[in-house]
Amino acid sequence: MATIKFVVTTLIIFSLFSCASNPQPDYLGYWQQWKTDYEKGLKGKGGWLSLAGLYWLEPGENSLGSDSSNEHRFPAHAPKQVGIIQVKNKQVFFESRLNNLMIDGQIKKSAILSIKEATPVSFENFEFFVIEREGNYAIRLIDNNSPIANSYHGSKFYPFDQSAIVKAKLTPHKEPTIISVATVYGTNRKEKSAGFVDFTYKGKKGRLEVVDYGPDSPLYLLFGDTTNGKDTYDAGRYLKFARPDESGKILLDFNRAYNPPCAFTDYATCPLIPPQNRLSFSIEAGEKNYEKRD
C-alpha cells in the first residue's frame, strides 16, 4: 500500500510539474480579449463606425461645409461653412472659415495638411484628415458623436473553435513580387506579396496569397470562402498574423477573421479579395455579417 501511495503521489507531482513547466496557451482567453479590443476599436474615436463622409478632392479649390453652396457637403448638423482646401503640386492647403477650429491640436486659421502624418482638423464633434489613394486625395470625415457608433453593441461571431487555429507554412516568392489588388472604389493598388500560405482546415487544403504592408506590420490575408453572402460578409474577410519564424511556420487563427471596413461604412477604401484567394470551402469561424441597427 505504501508503494502504491508513493507511485500515485509521484505521478501527481510529476503531472503538476509538467503542467507548470509547459502551460498550454489560453487560446480562448486570447480570442476573447482580441474580440473586446476589436469591438472597442470599431466603436471608439476614429473607428470605422464613426466615419461620416469621404470626399474626393479636385485639383484647385474645394469648399467644405453643410451648406448646399459647397463642392463637398458635410452632414446637415455640421457647420455651414467649414473652409477651403486647395490641392496643388501634391500639397493640400487648408484655410478655415471657423473660429476655434483646431489643426493638429492648435487653434489655427490655415496650414498645409500632411498626408503621411494625417494632420487632424477638428471642430465641434467633427474631425477630418486627408488620405491619398493611387495619386488621388480625399477627406475622411469623422463624427465623434456618431449615432451609428453609439448604437453599436457588438458584432456577431461564430462560437470559438480551437480547431480553427491551424498550422500553416509560408512559402516566399523567389523574387520580389508585386500583385494588383482591386479596390471598392474602382482602382487597383500595387501591393507587395510575401508569398503563399498552405494550410489544412478540417481536412481541406487551402492556399492563400499573403499581402505584406511592410516590416513593421503583421502579414495579411484577404480571403473569401463559401460562407460569404450567407453567414459572413459577401465580399470576404481579412485575417492578420505574426510573421513566421525561420522555418516559415505560422499559426492562422481563423477565429480572428474579421470584416473589411466596407462592411460597416460606405466611407472606407477597402481592397477587395484577390481572385486567387477565394476558397472552395467554408471557414465557419470568425466574424459574421454586420447587421446595422436603426
Note whether 269 and 131 are within 8 A (CB): yes
Distance separating alpha carbons of residues 229 and 259, to the nearest angstrom: 12
At 278, give phi and psi (nearest 5°).
Answer: -95, 110
Give the pLDDT band of residue 22 (cuts 50, 70, 90).
low
Q: Would the pLDDT of 78 be above 50?
A: yes
Distance separating alpha carbons of residues 103 and 167, to the nearest angstrom: 47
Per-domain boundaries in the chain: 48-150, 155-277
Note whether 256 and 237 are within 8 A (CB): no
Cβ neighbors of 236 (< 8 A, separation 6 or more) are 222, 223, 224, 225, 228, 260, 272, 273, 277, 278
More confident residue, 245 or 187: 187
DSSP structure class, residue 271 = B
Predicted local distance difference test score (pLDDT) of residue 290: 94
Predicted local distance difference test score (pLDDT) of residue 84: 98
Hunting for cell 460569404 — which residue is that?
228
Please list the helix, strand and coil fractions of the chain in percent, rounded to the nearest 5, in that order: 20, 40, 45
Give the pLDDT band of residue 285 (cuts 50, 70, 90).
very high
At 261, give phi and psi (nearest 5°).
Answer: -55, -30
Give the pLDDT band of residue 5 (cuts 50, 70, 90).
very low
pTM for this structure?
0.87
Specify burial of residue 209 (Cβ count, 10 A radius: 0-12, 13-18, 19+): buried
Distance separating alpha carbons of residues 81 and 162, to the nearest angstrom: 53
Q: Which amino acid is at 70?
A: N
Query: Which of 22-31, 82-91, 237-246 bottoms out in mean pLDDT, i.e. has the lowest?
Result: 22-31
| Averaged pLDDT score across all residues of the chain | 91
68, 98, 65: which is closest to 81 by C-alpha? 65
Q: 128-145, pLDDT tens digit by residue?
A: 999 999 999 999 999 999
Distance separating alpha carbons of residues 257 and 223, to the nearest angstrom: 9
Note whether 250 and 169 are within 8 A (CB): yes
pLDDT-above-70 percentage for the chain: 91
Specify burial of residue 102 (Cβ count, 10 A radius: 0-12, 13-18, 19+): middle
Give the pLDDT band of residue 197 (cuts 50, 70, 90).
very high
Distance separating alpha carbons of residues 294 and 284, to the nearest angstrom: 27
Note whether 74 and 82 are within 8 A (CB): yes
Predicted local distance difference test score (pLDDT) of residue 293: 52
CATH number of 48-150: 2.60.200.20
Distance separating alpha carbons of residues 142 and 161, to the nearest angstrom: 35
Q: 248-272, pLDDT tens digit by residue?
A: 789 999 999 999 999 999 999 999 9
